[in-house]
Amino acid sequence: MNYEESQKILEEIKKANKILINCHRGPDSDSVGSALGLSNILETMGKEIVVICPSEIPNDLRFLPGSQKIRRIDYANFNFKEYDLFLAIDSSSFSMVTGSRESRQPGGIDIIVIDHHFSNEGFGKINLIDSKATSTGELLFNVFEDWNVVIDADTANCLLTGVIGDTGCFMYQNVGEDTLKIAAKLISLGADKDNIVYNIYRNINFSELKIWGKIIENMQIDKENRFVWSIIPIAIYKDFIGIENIKEDAANLFFPIVKDTDFGIIMEERENGELSASFRSRSGFDVSKIAKEVGGGGHKAAAGARIEGLCFSDAVEKVLAAARKYAKKN
């Protein structure tokens, strides 16, 4: 048994017929892969599953079997009463589930939280939170072992997509023996590692590449505080509305690789003056401390935050001040 919560969760699932599984706002490989993997397993148990998301599913994740059945919904107008159970996965808070500041949970339906963010608020009736797991994909593999269910090739592909996405293709420092063993088992169950890497990492639009060029051009270094940062102004942001996760992709690729730094920050200006920031660690430095300081959250290696209610330049200064507060001085 990997988790004591596994059986309790299974009991709740057995009692339910119609079950909701979510993909969080701005869904990434782990969110979509985990939701579809869990959906597959529960469908083989005879459950009626609906996977819901407040955002569009990125095109580069459309290769995953079952991705076409994910329903984009507006949480404010969704009728939860038609369902028996809500499995909130890979989401540290209910506002990450809904994609809005509105964090009131729907009445009349039990929520079970399955997640690996250590900042998880534990907003469910049952909360299975394992912050040692690299990804919800890895965590679900352990849960499926506890449930003693057969993992088919489609499910193995979905889970490995989550693991690969949330480990930066096994590069992040949280990857060790356990994760690699699970990845090996998923491959032996039929997951196609090369196809996943091809779809996630070798599938970049030429126009996206050009925008990365601008982001790199705007990159600045704070030598004393050992970090790099870059801003995507609204004028550029408008150019790439419709290209999903461009900020996160750039953050993963370019912000943890700069010599003589500990971390990088990318800050995007949104329509309403909102700032959306992504933090990436290079050296093992815990960037979630900075994200938390400005109202966000995440992992040691990768974190994020949104700031509303300030003008963009003030919001940028707020993030930089938080970064300098925690930075290791040169």
Q: Report the interface residues with Mn ion, using CB under 5 A.
A: 30, 90, 135-136, 166
DSSP 270: -
Q: Which is nearer to Mn ion, 128 or 322 (CB)?
A: 128
Q: How far is the CB of 171 from Mn ion (least distance, A)?
A: 15
Query: What six digits make up the tokens of 216?
Result: 């790199």
Q: What distance in Å separates the CA atoms of residue 232 and residue 311, rounded to the nearest whole number?
A: 15
Q: How far is CA 296 from CA 92, 246, 289, 318, in A?
A: 10, 19, 9, 13
State whether residue 84 is helix, strand or coil.
Answer: coil
Q: Which is nearer to Mn ion, 136 or 261 (CB)?
A: 136
Q: What distance in Å separates the CA atoms of residue 53 and residue 244, rounded to the nearest whole number?
A: 14
Query: What six digits make up the tokens of 201?
Result: 């990492």
Q: Which is nearer to Mn ion, 178 or 314 (CB)?
A: 178
Q: Strands, DSSP E only, in the chain? A: 18-22, 48-53, 71-72, 85-89, 110-115, 126-129, 220-222, 227-232, 263-269, 275-281, 297-298, 302-307
Q: How far is the CB of 276 from Mn ion (least distance, A)?
A: 18
Q: How far is the CB of 244 from Mn ion (least distance, A)?
A: 16
Q: How far is the CB of 262 from Mn ion (least distance, A)?
A: 23
Q: Which is nearer to Mn ion, 24 or 282 (CB)?
A: 24
Cβ(170)–Cβ(70) under 8 Å? Answer: no
Q: Give the N- to C-terminal CA distance of the chain in Å, as an integer.
A: 46
Q: Which is nearer to Mn ion, 168 or 261 (CB)?
A: 168
Instruction: Report the DSSP beta bridge partners of residue 51.
Output: 21
Q: How far is the CB of 239 from Mn ion (least distance, A)?
A: 28
Q: How far is the CB of 303 from Mn ion (least distance, A)?
A: 12
Going by C-alpha positions, the residue among 19, 29, 42 that lies closest to residue 88 is 19
Q: Which is nearer to Mn ion, 129 or 232 (CB)?
A: 129
Nearest residue to Mn ion by CB is 30
Q: Which is nearer to Mn ion, 120 or 136 (CB)?
A: 136
State whether residue 111 is helix, strand or coil.
Answer: strand
Q: How far is the CB of 312 from Mn ion (least distance, A)?
A: 28
